[in-house]
Amino acid sequence: MNSQAPILEVRDLRKSYGKVKAVDGISFSVPEGSCFGILGPNGAGKTTTIEIIETIHERDSGEILYRGTKVAPSFKESIGIQFQDTSLQEFLSVRETLRLFSQLYPKPRPLDEIVAACDLGDFIDRDNRKLSGGQRQRMLLGIALVNDPDLLFLDEPTTGLDPHARREFWHTIEGIKAQGKTVILTTHYMDEAESLCDELIIMAKGLIIESGEPRGLIAKHFGQAAAIAPESPRRSLDDLFLKLTGNGLE
């Protein structure tokens, strides 16, 4: 496990919609400077979890601590969010879109730093409606960075992208992480978690069914040889996910 102090702690978080327990008493902590993954199939509760943390939805019960204190209204100024999809003002270039969002914050990050961090230079003056899927996701990531957040939420950011665009996006995230940012990533791609996450939790039906470092989890459930085998890390993590979500813990 990462030895860094936690930037975020979630304690016994619960959220129900009628009789459906979307989040059923989960607890975890996120080390500062790490990429923390929340994995699970559709309906596992991962998006509900981060939307509660982001203060988009109210929790039924539980605690959320940021740097050791309960989340306050100022918390929103310390985070950036890239949603699964975002509606944007039309007929604006990428540059104009970033400037529009920058005006919402008192101390926005300089535009040239965002362009460099998200590799937007080749299409910075293109109409935001005329971007490829990968370009649009990098622009949305730039929007999430306009307030220079310490904590960045990415909700399934590469869904629908082709393999090349996904890997380009991963490279961008690695660069942002190298700047000392903390990233919370929801995904259902096993190779994405393997590539980006220092630690992760696996959710199903509102519960955390396993947690730890990707390689450590593979070693725990399939033996050390599977964790270090270079030829098929994706298959190993896929197998782990199927084992936990399909058959439960042994």
Domain ranges of the chain: 6-212
CA distance 140 to 101: 11
Q: Provide the token pair at 198.
A: 């220092």
SS3 185: strand
**Residue 231: C-alpha distances to residues 43, 133, 194, 226 (Å):** 31, 30, 13, 10
Asked if 204 contacts 245 with a C-beta cutoff of 8 angstroms, the reply is yes
Residue with tokens 């782990």: 240
pLDDT tens digits, the chain, 250 residues: what are they? 455 689 999 999 999 999 999 999 999 999 999 999 999 888 899 989 999 999 999 999 999 999 999 998 889 888 999 987 788 999 999 999 999 999 999 999 999 999 999 999 999 999 999 999 999 999 999 999 999 999 999 999 998 899 999 999 999 999 999 999 999 999 878 788 888 999 999 999 999 999 999 888 877 776 654 445 544 444 455 676 677 766 443 3
Return the CATH architecture of domain 6-212: 3-Layer(aba) Sandwich (3.40)
**Residue 93: C-alpha distances to residues 25, 128, 136, 139, 239 (Å):** 44, 5, 12, 11, 43
